[in-house]
Amino acid sequence: MKALVTGATSGIGKCIAESLHRRGWELVLTGRNEKVLKELQKKFGEGTEIIKAELSERNEVFKVYEFCKDKNIDMLVNNAGYGIFGKFDETDLNDELDMIDVNITALHILTKLFLRDFKKQNSGFILNVASVAGFMTGPLLSSYYASKNYVLRLSLAIAEELRRERSNVTITVLCPGPVNTNFNNRAGVNFSAKPISPEYAAEYALKKLFQGKCLAVPSLTAKACAFGQRFVPHRLLSAITYNVQYAKKTADGKSRAVEK
Ligand SMILES: NC(=O)c1ccc[n+]([C@@H]2O[C@H](COP(=O)([O-])OP(=O)(O)OC[C@H]3O[C@@H](n4cnc5c(N)ncnc54)[C@H](OP(=O)(O)O)[C@@H]3O)[C@@H](O)[C@H]2O)c1
């Protein structure tokens, strides 16, 4: 069995790759950090292939697909993603468009192309990494939350189409709360709640995937947010999320992400 993992160089993606390797899976790993990709290839040994790709570039996304097309991939893990912190009118437009290209467009392209291949063979797993943010509105991290809403809704819609067709292909969407990875550094914020480990997030996601579940929400806090938000009026929910995000600003009272 062989899996393609995006964002495999760090955090949740790296842990998913490690867990799949322990289970005997062969791997195709992608990310931008070639040094880490080569280290992982050496560590996992035979059966591991790497492809460096900048997923904000559409042609690079297609390059990853072309690289994998004839390799009999059984699992696609769309994990690469990041967030940009700040008020919507203050965050950099191009940075944000790149983020949308990674979080949404790359995931959309790979999901469609691999889903078509998986349906032809009537087998295959897709694991899309969204976030508990996918259930909510996220002032101060607005486009990130919106991007994860897209990932969650797209994945659940595909899951229903597959269920109606009684397909053997499955799609699982992982929706964690805070996870202890490089994510916050990149977004320029601190944690305001206790994070879970990326190892736990990865194991939980794969457990749900192999059980054929479409939704994987690790940790009680994330579950409470995901399901509790249904009963909270929109304005109150936005006010709560604003306060949670505001508390993530760095100690000097400014977000590193919006500093120039
Ligand atoms: N950490 C959290 O609190 C949390 C919570 C919920 C959901 N998530 C989601 O979990 C996923 C993984 O994030 P993480 O927490 O593990 O963060 P991370 O440690 O920063 O890992 C992000 C991964 O995405 C890759 N990536 C980022 N930008 C890329 C680009 N332009 N092109 C190609 N690859 C790119 C990175 O690889 P390179 O640096 O090598 O490019 C890295 O492997 C993301 O989708 C994130 O939204 C995280």
CATH assignment of the domain containing 91? 3.40.50.720
Q: Which residues line ligand 1 (CB under 6 A)?
A: 7-13, 31-33, 53-56, 79-82, 102, 129, 131, 176, 178-179, 181-183, 186, 198
Indicate if the pLDDT at residue 253 is higher than 80: no
140-157 mean pLDDT: 98
- What is the per-residue pLDDT across 2-44, written as a single tens digit (0 to 9) for each? 999 999 999 999 999 999 999 999 999 999 999 999 999 999 9
Number of domains in the chain: 1
CA 168 to chain centre: 23
Domain of 190, in residue numbers: 2-258
CA nearest 159: which of 204, 237, 213, 226? 213
Whole-number pLDDT of residue 250: 63
Percent of the chain with pLDDT over 90: 89
Per-residue pLDDT reduced to its tens digit, 204-213:
999 999 999 9
What pLDDT is stored for residue 190 in this prediction? 81
Give the closest residue (by CA) to ligand 1 atom 6: 131
In the annotation, is 144 catalytic? yes
| Model pLDDT for residues 173-186, shown as the tens digit of each residue | 999 999 999 998 88
- Determine the distance separating the centroid of ligand 1 and the alpha carbon of 164, expressed in angstroms: 32
Which atom of ligand 1 lies closest to the CA of 178? 3
Mean pLDDT of 103-107: 98
Distance from the CA of 181 to the center of ligand 1, in angstroms?
8
Report the relative pairing of strands 170-174 and 125-129 from DSSP bridges: parallel
Rg (CA), the chain: 18
Beta bridge partners of 229: none
Instruction: Write out the two tokens for 14.
Output: 């790296």
Out of 144, 150, 200, 242, the active site residue is 144
Q: What sign has the CA pseudo-torsion 174, 180, 186, 187?
A: positive
In this structure, are residues 161 and 220 in contact, taking their beta carbons and an 8 Å threshold? no
Give the pLDDT band of residue 249 (cuts 50, 70, 90): confident
* Inter-residue contact 52 to 32 (CB < 8 Å): yes
Question: Residue 41's pLDDT is what?
Answer: 98
**Is the predicted pLDDT of residue 259 greater than 80, yes or no?**
no
Q: How does the average pLDDT of the chain come out, rounded?
A: 94
Q: Which atom of ligand 1 is nearest to the CA of 186?
A: 20
Is the per-residue pLDDT at 134 higher than 70?
Answer: yes
Q: Can you give the pLDDT at residue 258?
A: 41
